[in-house]
Amino acid sequence: MGIKKCSNCDYENSTGDSYCYKCGSKLDSNFINSEYTEIENINFNEKNDSAVTNPFFIFGSIVIILFLIIFGINTEWGSVLIILGFIGLSALVIVILFDIQNDKNKQKAIANQKKELNNFYKQYQKIKYGIDIPESAKTIVYLKSSIYSPIKISKKNTLIYIWKNNDTINFFPLGPKTNPSLELHNFKLSQIPIEKIEFFHKEGELYRETKITGGGGGGSTIGGAVVGGLIAGDTGAIIGSRKKVDEIRSELITHDERKTILNFFDDDNERYSIQFDNESFQILNDLIPEKEYNIVNALKSKDILNKVDAMNKNKSIVEQLHEIKQLLDEDILTEQEFNEMKKRILGIQS
């Protein structure tokens, strides 16, 4: 059993379909989905690996049993050996029958698992094609959301698609082959309006440490001295007392704790955050560069300065200085912004 992929719209239909579920085109059975086929191959390999009984074990057991029976006929212990031989033969038959039944049960379980995987994958494809993920979509790792966030993209540490529409950033988990731990309800589209995104930035550190192992030696051991002395006298005692020196090895260990944080607001203007892996920063920067923290902060500062300029047009220099000092004291302006405003008010060139 496999998947028929439509040559017209790329929708993946089940083998029994003659026409595409999505566009209605006639299906060509030559189009097989590789991910779906790989699921089947995994199960098929498991089936091949589950031999009923090892033939070498069977052959060896029969030889031993026949030896006991034949050898027992010509010895005084013949009756005992013959009985043991027949007991062994009976046990072997029971083991073979048990393994046959066990193998049947295992293959039935594999067949049921394959059927469940096939049905699961087909449902996933229907959800995915209903969303219409563009070919330009990128993949990032979703780590987690803040506790009460209205957006839970999927389970933690999940590989997801990310792409931008005109006014939203969209997320959707990759398929069951990539994320085998996900259930069907985890495959859902999550969207954040770009206007609701406050900013994104990096947190965490990248640091390296060198781990050194081995070395030592130069000390003495009483046991080594005794053995060395017995073999080669005083000289042997000196040599035998030296410890073996281990080779000094160093290993550079990298710890990357960096992650990308995206802050956004819900409809009630409550702030929440979503965490992605470190590499997500560059992808977000390509999609929504205007929401990068430094740019957002610079635009915000410029907006504040322009508003202050407009308010202070008809005020004296002293009044303007008092007002910007008050903004500094209230933490509305930073020290750098305050100094820049002061220079502009006093007409000092930067």
**Could you tell me if residue 18 is inside a domain?**
no
Q: Is the pLDDT of residue 18 over 70?
A: no
pLDDT digits (tens, 9 = 90+) for 218-256: 444 444 444 445 455 555 545 555 555 667 888 888 888
Is the same domain home to 146 and 285?
yes
Is the same domain home to 182 and 245?
no
Is the same domain home to 125 and 145?
no
Is the same domain home to 283 and 296?
no
Position 327: which residue type? Answer: L
Is the same domain home to 192 and 276?
yes
pLDDT digits (tens, 9 = 90+) for 168-178: 999 999 888 77
**Could you tell me if residue 5 is inside a domain?**
no
Q: Is the pLDDT of residue 148 over 90?
A: no
Tell me the C-alpha distance between 345 and 330, whole Å. 20
**Could you tell me if residue 22 is inside a domain?**
no
Is the same domain home to 192 and 210?
no
Q: Structural domain tally of the chain?
A: 4
Is the same domain home to 149 and 280?
yes
Q: Is the pLDDT of residue 65 over 50?
A: yes
| 251 compared with 35, residue with greater pLDDT | 251
Instruction: Give the residues across from 275 on adjacent strands.
Output: 144, 261
Is the same domain home to 283 and 300?
no
Mean pLDDT throughout 164-188?
Answer: 87
pLDDT digits (tens, 9 = 90+) for 268-314: 999 999 999 999 999 999 999 999 998 888 777 776 666 666 666 66
Instruction: Give the residues across from 172 on adjacent strands.
Output: 161
Is the same domain home to 155 and 272?
yes
Sign of CA dihedral 173, 177, 179, 183: positive
| 296 compared with 91, residue with greater pLDDT | 296
Is the same domain home to 143 and 285?
yes
Write out the residue range of the structural domain in which residue 301 sits.
Answer: 292-346
Confidence (pLDDT) at 260: 96
Consecutive H or E run containing 285: helix 280-287
Average pLDDT of the residues of the chain: 75
Is the same domain home to 217 and 271?
no
Confidence (pLDDT) at 17: 59
Compute the half-sphere exposure of residue 53: CA atoms within 13 Å on the CB side of its CA: 17
Q: What percent of the chain has pLDDT over 90?
A: 20
Asked which of 130, 158, 187 is the last residue of a domain, the reply is 130
Confidence (pLDDT) at 114: 81
Confidence (pLDDT) at 139: 92
